[in-house]
Structure 1
């Protein structure tokens, strides 16, 4: 197994809110990857004493451990258990019912001799390449399908669409959200390589229109994960004043890319 992992903060003076891990179990058969993108909170608080990096580290660490140590537990159940474990770590000190209690997007892939399982929750992406070179994007596109009016302000988002029926879902404090994830199983022989990207890296496709998902995957395979992040940073700097592509989005976002050749 060959792996590349790059994760960079959008602002070097502020902690990276992403989490990424790639593991090879002791058996030497199969592996896992876990990528989280912490949701940057509004300035008026989250009801929690802890930071988003604290949350993503806890959730990501628990999810990585569970997907490796319990290979027969479905990924949705592993995510639910990881959310529960993380919630229990701060339920006594924090208001976990707050709509902006620390939360994150999730991508998980786990493969063995015969199958590859995947889970995607919210707007990070998982790209899978077949032995013939075809690239499939595995996405949870509910956020992108919402009308712009429902995303106009933090208050509107939190009251109408965040972790609500008809809206979009992120991993926060309620383990039931795991059942809302996009999941599936692929034959192991149908997968040659895969890449997981947080939305700071998917800007290459979704904001700057440098190519489609297949082009993005081929760029990472040829040039490397770091090259994709570097290209996004260059495009962000070029658009910083004109705001042709970024519009209301922050100039730089945490960007994580994990590339795995099986």
Structure 2
């Protein structure tokens, strides 16, 4: 799967090479979550902070998330995520600039941007006897990771029964209960939220 991701990064970069400044550290980038059915197993790949919850037939879910970006949380990140400093856009901009300096570099963290070699830094593997999976951006995983409104088995059940739209709607309800991040500190009211749910 690393090869597929590397080819995809290279192809997208090539589409924009003549019209965009791809050397700029702020070039658009993305986290990646992928699964591929291989017989009775499921192959997975995660690059950056998306989450894959693999629902095994027995033994509970396997949850895969690359948290390497968290190692670069600075005083700026803490200021940007605290409720009292939420209005301080300068802290958020400082955080973004600091992350850009370590993105896709040795000793930093890796995302899908313009360098196909980033794919080699993805987390990947194979899990056997999987009956389903949820592929989530970090903003779609907040019900478990930040809000503690449910655990992973409950999230999978909810996603199977209600679908990804309901999962995101529930996430938005929790975000709107605490728009200033006083209960659940974070650096923005609403995060991007994308969810894919599959049953095998």
Q: If the length of structure 2 is used for normalisation, what is the TM-score?
A: 0.83
Give the secondary-structure state (helix, strand or coil) at the position aligned to 2:141: helix
Q: Distance in 1 between matches of 2:110 and 2:154?
A: 28
Q: What do the CA deviations read for 1:196-238 (whole angstroms, capped 9, x no partner)?
A: 0112211112221213333322332344322221111111111
Give the secondary-structure state (helix, strand or coil) at the position aligned to 1:169: coil
CA contact (8 A) 2:30 2:111 kept: yes
Of residues 6, 13, 16, the one that matches 1:90 is: 16
> Which stretch shows the higher mean deviation, 95-104 or 224-233?
224-233
Of residues 92, 110, 114, the one that matches 1:169 is: 110
Of residues 81, 86, 96, the one that matches 1:154 is: 96
Q: What do the CA deviations read for 1:163-190 (whole angstroms, capped 9, x no partner)?
A: 2223221100000000000011223xx1
Q: If the length of structure 1 is used for normalisation, what is the TM-score?
A: 0.65
Q: What do the CA deviations read for 1:136-169 (whole angstroms, capped 9, x no partner)?
A: 101112123444347462222222x222223221
When the two chains are superposed, the root-mean-square deviation of aligned CA atoms in Å is: 2.0
What's 2:122 paired with? Answer: 181
Residues 114 and 209 of structure 1, relative CA distance in 2, 3 Å threshold = closer
What's 2:166 paired with? Answer: 227
What's 1:257 paired with? Answer: 195
Q: Distance in 1 between matches of 2:106 and 2:151?
A: 29
Q: Distance in 1 between matches of 2:168 and 2:46?
A: 21
**Structure 2: which 5+ runs fail to align?**
78-93
What's 1:22 paired with? Answer: none
Residues 114 and 252 of structure 1, relative CA distance in 2, 3 Å threshold = same
What's 1:239 paired with? Answer: 178
**Structure 1: which 5+ runs fail to align?**
1-74
CA contact (8 A) 1:136 1:214 kept: no
Give the secondary-structure state (helix, strand or coil) at the position aligned to 1:153: helix
What's 1:104 paired with? Answer: 30
Q: Distance in 1 between matches of 2:123 and 2:76?
A: 22
- Deviation of the 1:101 alpha carbon: 0.8
